[in-house]
Amino acid sequence: MKNFVLFLAIVGLLGFTQCQPKNKKMNTKKNFITEQTVEKTQKALVDKYGKTLTERINRGVQQAASLWTQKEGKQEDFEKFCTENFIGDTAKLVETFNSLSANFESIYGNFNKMSLDLKRKLHIDQGEIMPIDDLFGGYEPSAHINDDFFENKIAFVTLLNFPFYSLKDKTEKGSTWTREQWAYARLGDMFTSRIPAQLIQKSSEVTTGADTYISNYNIYMGNLLDNQNKSLFPKGMKLITHWGLRDELKANYNATNGLEKQKMIYEVMKRIISQEIPQDVINDSNFTWNPYSNKLLKTGKDIVFKPEPDTRYQHLLNIFKALHDIDAYSPMYPTNIQRKFEQEMEIPVDDVEKLFISLLTSKEVKQVGQLISTRLGRKLQPFDIWYDGFKARNTVSQEELDAKVKAKYPSKDAFESDLPNLLLKLGFTKEKATWITSKITVDASRGAGHAWGAQMKTDKAHLRTRIGKDGMNYKGYNIAVHEFGHNVEQTISLNDVDYYLMNGVPNTAFTEALAFIYQKRDLELLGIKDNNPNKEFMLTLDNFWACYEIMGVSLVDIKVWKWLYENPKATAIQLKEEVIRTAKEIWNAYYADVFGVKDQPILGIYSHMIDSPLYLSAYPIGHLIDFQIEKQIAGKNFADEIQRIYKNGRLIPQVWMKQAVGSEISVQPMLQATDEALKVIVK
């Protein structure tokens, strides 16, 4: 998981707006600067600099006027400002762009580093989290920067000279733009809203609170009892929800008592979703618990307990309220749904839903489900949405994998020192492998693990993963390889991209794609060869099933947010009921026929729904991109292609894809490949 989402969200609130609203009537705010002043100013500048600059002049003046308030000055002050600050000379425009770019790198890079440092105690297991740590972790140093840039007029200089272009404009014109024109356009995206600093700060606080809640939500598996009072898991095993529980469930497809363990994990998940879970068993090893009967015991005796008081849904509600308060200051994108999809992802939510539904309703879904049932030798269970049997590691026991990884990586330092070797195995030159990994540092994570990228070239990206006292186990290693993929992308797309304003990727799905590509090669990097002649077909089926799983979850996430906007005064209890209802509705629509059981709430377990608002869609889109990139790099030098592709930087998604693999994002290549795989893999 890419946990850099929080900082990206804050940066987004500071003004990275990239397209016009669908419904312009939503923007009812009356500008302080009159249309008469705008037209007068535009005419004066065109007369001075010539008609060849008409488009840039008209855009720049109009956009600056839309955010100029009485606080900045009168009508004549606006006209004077534009006359004095519009840059008509090309050489001076380039020089100004370079200054803005260098300064923004320093400012945002250092703010990013400060935010990372302030959250260090929350992210890294450095002892007990004190109340002061939560306060610092929730503080966002950059919260006032937008206000400052409008007050000192830097924002207006930027708007005037580097106007923004709508997503429609970028889609129509972007394929013919030079890299410099793209960089200018990205600079133009920076200042298009004026959100009060206190609202940005509040958003940071509640999101950090949710992240801390999830990071400390652990279940002691050795303390779980089945209906025969047996404990199925080793004493001391502590798993975070939902990632740890899910990964343990996956690991038990090839283990002793595996099915019984999986059923128990699913019972735990259902209790978490319903909030019937005893408060006392969360991150506490002093109790034993039967998740089937929901009985809590201490020293062998039943005790009365209090369930978790809908804390899970209160955190989601807190985030919604904080982001809903921002709506009034974001006239171009008056809902967080629009900001997330049209502004940040640059793919409209309707297009995303259609893309997902086209795969969820495909004939291949039932065919792959039947194949999995045959391979398991039983009827599908709801938790088989996480079926992991198409991966090569299912021929190697969990114990063997854990032993191999712990011997190789007894500490975070051992893993960090081996990073260059991992890149060498993937075809990077020694010089490039050493350079990339010199820009990455590894930390032992308090939570499941994440990658936090740098925002200036002099800083390092951070790779966080769980590392036990006796070393890294296979689950931690698998996550670490995923996060390493993020770090490689972050390093290439920051340091090797030609313009700082173009650094990064179109949206988080594109960094997830590379993380998936690395994660799939985890056994290869361990030196475990997969000699299966059907390897590529198995990878296709694995990718397809992963998309099937997470696309449904993403639809739940979207529907819940739509419901929140329709019910902004909802309580945590009402939100819980809606999440469960929606999870069952999506299950019944796209999963019940395949699994043979209705009304399952499993799609509501995902932690991302709680601490990463509307982030889930990045995963299935990432899987589609991953699949198309894999097709592109097949038979080519892995390292060369990855570097070529990710040096494209922050183009809009479909332009990026065309340059990377020659076609737009689509489910069709995956469906076609799945059909081919099904003809070969028959059991």
| pLDDT tens digits, 354-390 | 999 999 999 999 999 999 999 999 999 999 999 999 9
- Where residue 444 falls among pLDDT bands split at 50, 70, 90? confident
Residues 509 and 617 sit within 8 Å (Cβ to Cβ):
yes
Token digits of residue 531: 């000699």
pLDDT at position 6, please?
41
d(CA 392, CA 527): 13
Question: Is pLDDT above 60 for 683?
Answer: no
In whole angstroms, what separates CA 634 from the centre of its chain?
26
Q: Is 70 exceeded by the pLDDT of residue 424? A: yes
pLDDT digits (tens, 9 = 90+) for 69-88: 999 999 999 999 999 999 99
132/616 Cα distance (integer angstroms): 31
Lowest mean pLDDT of 127-131, 292-296, 518-522, 603-607, name the range: 127-131
Rounded to two decimals, what is the model's pTM?
Answer: 0.82
Tell whether the model's pLDDT for residue 544 goes beyond 60. Answer: yes
What is the mean predicted confidence (pLDDT) over 581-603? 98
- The pLDDT, as a whole number, for residue 322 is 97
Q: What pLDDT is recorded for position 3?
A: 42
pLDDT value of residue 123: 86
- Those residues whose C-beta lies under 8 Å from the C-beta of residue 31, and which sit 6 or more positions away, are 65, 66, 68
Across 9-23, 67-81, 126-140, least confident range: 9-23
Share of the chain above pLDDT 90, in %: 79
Fill in the DSSP letter of residue 130.
Answer: P
Do 427 and 637 meet the contact criterion of CB atoms below 8 Å apart? yes
- What CA–CA distances, in Å, run from 398 to 132, 236, 258, 402, 668? 40, 17, 11, 6, 35
Among 89-98, 138-147, 616-625, top mean pLDDT goes to 89-98
> Region 282-309: what's the mean pLDDT?
95
Least confident range from 22-31, 252-261, 320-329, 396-405: namely 22-31
Q: What is the mean pLDDT of the chain?
A: 91
Phi/psi of residue 328, nearest 5 degrees: -65, -20
Nearest to 207 by CA among 115, 110, 344, 108: 115
- Residue 1 predicted with pLDDT over 90: no
Q: Establish how many alpha carbons lie within 13 A of residue 465's alpha carbon, considering only the half-sphere containing its beta carbon.
A: 27
Give the model's pLDDT for residue 10.
Answer: 44
pLDDT (0 to 100) of residue 18: 30
pLDDT of residue 126: 80
Tell me how many degrees the CA angle 69-74-79 measures, rounded to the nearest 5: 100
Q: Would the pLDDT of 394 be above 80?
A: no
The answer to whether residue 556 scores a pLDDT higher than 70 is yes
> What span, in angstroms and rounded, lies between the C-alpha atoms of 349 and 505?
19
Q: Which helix (H) or strand (E) holds 443?
A: strand 440-444
